[in-house]
Copies of this chain bind each other. A is one copy, B any other.
Amino acid sequence: MVDDRLKVRSYPQRARYDLQFAAEVLDAGRIGHLALTRDGFPHLVPMMFVRVDRAVHVHCRAGTQLATDLAGGARVAFAVTIADGVVLANEVRFHSMNYRSLVVHGVAEEVTDEAAKRASFDALAEHVWPGRRGLSPATTEQLSTVALFAIPLVEFSGKQRTGPPLAGITPRPNVWTGHVDLHESPGAFHRAVDGADAPEPPWPF
């Protein structure tokens, strides 16, 4: 039973309301967008994030307006979208994208336990690049400068488009129609000037 506010209205046949899909999108996504209402205006912030069990973890500097809003119980919406492909139709209006998206609604809960915070930042480093957890764990003082929040993975709705374009009615013998998959791939590796003379890590995605 999906709450009316969460229901996908446009192309409802593309809706995905299962936790497995939600986890898949969050685990594959790079950057999310957090929306809340501040002084009556929608406020939207791109943020790094990581899924930890049944929650989305986001962080910001302690004491900022954002931290205050979140700690104060502001309603949020948090979205992650992955562009999976490009859809090339034989009519302009049917050009589209294939994608997976997830929008999570709710109220964030601040995570203050030190061990939980360290585990979350470990998970975030691991999300950025598998294998990076555990490098010089943050000290108590360092942790205190960062506010960490968990948005429960309870109210959410996903959406996915896959496959070919909607069929146009106009034949176009010279125009290729179909869909093209998109992938993220690595470009150059730039070693930091103060970086160790260690081998480049293999592309893990």
Interface residues of A (CB under 8 A from B): 5, 9-10, 30-31, 33, 35-37, 39-46, 48, 60-61, 64-66, 75-79, 81, 83, 85-93, 95-97, 99, 101, 103, 105, 121-122, 124-125, 128-129, 132-138, 142, 146, 159, 163-165, 167-168, 170-201
Contact = CB atoms under 8 A, between A and B. Distances in A.
Contacts of A174: 196, 198
Contact of A190 (B91, B178, B184, B199): B178
Contact of A136 (B41, B77, B96, B170): B170
A183 to B, nearest CB: 5
Copies in the complex: 2
B176 A199 contact: yes
Contacts of A77: 35, 41-44
Contacts of A182: 30, 184-187
Is chain A's interface secondary structure helix, strand, loop, or mixed overall? mixed
Contacts of A196: 90, 171-177
Contacts of A201: 88, 176
Given A35-B42, A76-B42, A182-B185, A136 B95 contact: no
Contacts of A177: 191-192, 194-196, 198
